[in-house]
Structure 1
């Protein structure tokens, strides 16, 4: 459906339409993913942390590395990590040489839940062929350049 029909609005320019369409579509995708993740009791930001850790050597990273790599950099990283720790999905370890450095490690339970959530997210398909997805990726990267 066209964005004008979705939000019942006319735009002054193609640029304004494109920007609104990006924001609207982003929220639409985020809502679909959030609904799909509901059975895991994970937010998209929590899943992002588990994914970052999963891709690190020994599934361990510093808080700073996690913060730098988050897709949504708005949340309070410490609060996010505390919620994951309360769920038993990560562990915190202080560096013995430098008490300011905290290492975050993925627990076996966290690794299993991350894999389950990845399968769920992979099932949330967008209605695009691979070539169309490649073109969309190039255009979105151009917007950010």
Structure 2
């Protein structure tokens, strides 16, 4: 019986994840962004300047792909590279003024979409969900 519940939990989690990803993808695509681009912008918006490695770790995109995403966002004028004065091997990525203005405009709307996705569960249930998912995620 326990195995059946584990399998059912897995299936429900995967279906929920897919539904959430599709909803977020629809919201982000309205801003002419790909999910990977938005996640990089969001990481910089919420945490400030980051190294490529820090961004890669935060958004779970491998280092080869992250460079491509950063290049695209730099071409759009939304972020820029800055050399580290203390260590020339390190390059920081940060939002440009345009990037910050863009995120100031779209992030509150995106946050409302996320709030709507989770509107059917209470704050206590959200805390429980976070704790449970963290425990499941630690298993390797």
Q: TM-score surpassing 0.5?
A: yes
Map 1:37-52; keep pairs closer than 5 Å. Answer: 37-52=28-43
Alignment correspondent of 1:106: 95
**1:94–1:102: 8 Å Cα contact kept in structure 2?**
yes
**1:90–1:106: 8 Å Cα contact kept in structure 2?**
yes
Give yes or no for the alignment of 1:84 onto 2:73. yes
Q: Shift of residue 114 of structure 1?
A: 1.8
Alignment correspondent of 1:73: 61
Q: Which has the higher helix share?
A: 2
Q: Shift of residue 118 of structure 1?
A: 1.9
Q: Shift of residue 117 of structure 1?
A: 2.9
Question: How does the TM-score come out when normalised to structure 2?
Answer: 0.80
Alignment correspondent of 2:25: 34
Q: Shift of residue 77 of structure 1?
A: 0.6
User: Once superposed, which parts of structure 1, at least 4 consecutive aligned residues long, lie more than 4 Å away?
Assistant: 96-99
Q: Structure 2 CA distance, aligned partners of 1:115 and 1:34?
A: 19
Q: Structure 1 CA distance, aligned partners of 2:70 and 2:15?
A: 29
Give yes or no for the alignment of 1:17 onto 2:8. yes
Alignment correspondent of 1:3: none
Q: Structure 1 CA distance, aligned partners of 2:55 and 2:68?
A: 13
Alignment correspondent of 2:132: 139
In structure 1, runs of 5+ residues without a counterpart are: 1-11
In structure 2, runs of 5+ residues without a counterpart are: none
Q: Shift of residue 43 of structure 1?
A: 2.3
Using the TM superposition, name which of 27-36 and 41-50 deviates more: 41-50
Question: How does the TM-score come out when normalised to structure 1?
Answer: 0.78
Alignment correspondent of 1:63: 52
